[in-house]
Amino acid sequence: MKQLVQTSKATLGRLPFYYRTLNSLAEKGRSHVSSRELGSLMRIDPAQVRRDLSSIGEFGKAGIGYSVPDVLDVLEQILGLRNRTEAVLVGVGRLGAALCRYPGFEKYGLRIVGLFDSDPSKIGTKLDGLPILDVAEVPHVVRRLAIQMGIVTVPGDAAQAVTDLLVSAGIIAIWNFAPVSVRVPPGVFVRDEDLAAGLSHLSRHLSGASGHSEQESRTRRGT
Ligand code: NAD
């Protein structure tokens, strides 16, 4: 695999979208794709596609285009999709249950293996066959299964305590959906997910406050 030393942050941010687009082409049985078609599917400039892909490998052949399986192969390595990641999820409410039920994460190597909640009416029940355990069981389960990722889908006022519990159990990657910034010690990585932030971009656009075209907006957010 080519060294990623010259790959910009914006390019890295676009890689998951290349992966998603190429995957759907592969599912349709396509073996090759041109930068023009890829650019059109992703709504980015074909020259940008060529720059991005040349920064991660040498795939393109004049007149033939990019080999879809070859690019997918390298993207899987770069994005770490071959590393199976097992995670626990705390807060099995509307969002937590939806995330747990979403089958698409499997493709990205993520498997949710433990569900936790503090609501006595949920503890002991099952969600799609997976038992919902008392949140007090987190340290025990995380240590026993050597889990490294925790998904936080509790209300904001519980997020820090839940994060502290996960980190003290050995979790080193937190996918936080609660609308607060949680503090973690060095060595622990937090990814805050906020759909409302995306919505505010759209709202700003609708209210006419944004002068950016759709193309520019996609480029700015790295897609
Ligand atoms: P919900 O009320 O349906 O579910 C929250 C769950 O957390 C409940 O089952 C509750 O019993 C459990 N819980 C509460 N305190 C807990 C604790 N200390 N330990 C373990 N479990 C606990 O809420 P929801 O609609 O699913 O939203 C969940 C969180 O996700 C909220 O913080 C919400 O703001 C956030 N959210 C974020 C996004 C986003 O874009 N990031 C979108 C929707 C919701």
Stretch among 32-46, 48-62, 119-133, 174-188 having the lowest mean pLDDT:
48-62
Tokens of 37: 């078609």
What would the pLDDT profile of 106-116 be if each residue is shown by its tens digit?
Answer: 888 899 999 99
pLDDT at 65: 92
160-169 as b/e: b if 16+ CB within 10 A:
bebbebbbeb
Record the pTM. Answer: 0.77
- State how beta strands 130-134 and 173-176 pair: unpaired
- Contact criterion met (CB below 8 Å) for 59 and 66: yes
Averaged confidence pLDDT in the chain: 89
What would the pLDDT profile of 159-198 be if each residue is shown by its tens digit?
Answer: 999 999 999 999 999 999 999 999 999 999 999 998 888 8
Q: Is 18 in the pocket of ligand 1 (CB under 6 A)?
A: no
Query: Token match 């389960």: residue?
Result: 141
Q: Is 124 in the pocket of ligand 1 (CB under 6 A)?
A: no
pLDDT at 220: 44
User: Distance from the CA of 7 to the center of ligand 1, in angstroms?
Assistant: 36
- What's the CA gap between 67 and 69, in Å, rounded? 6
Q: Residues of the chain with pLDDT > 70: what percent? A: 91
**199 band by pLDDT with thresholds 50, 70 and 90:** confident
Q: Is 138 in the pocket of ligand 1 (CB under 6 A)?
A: no
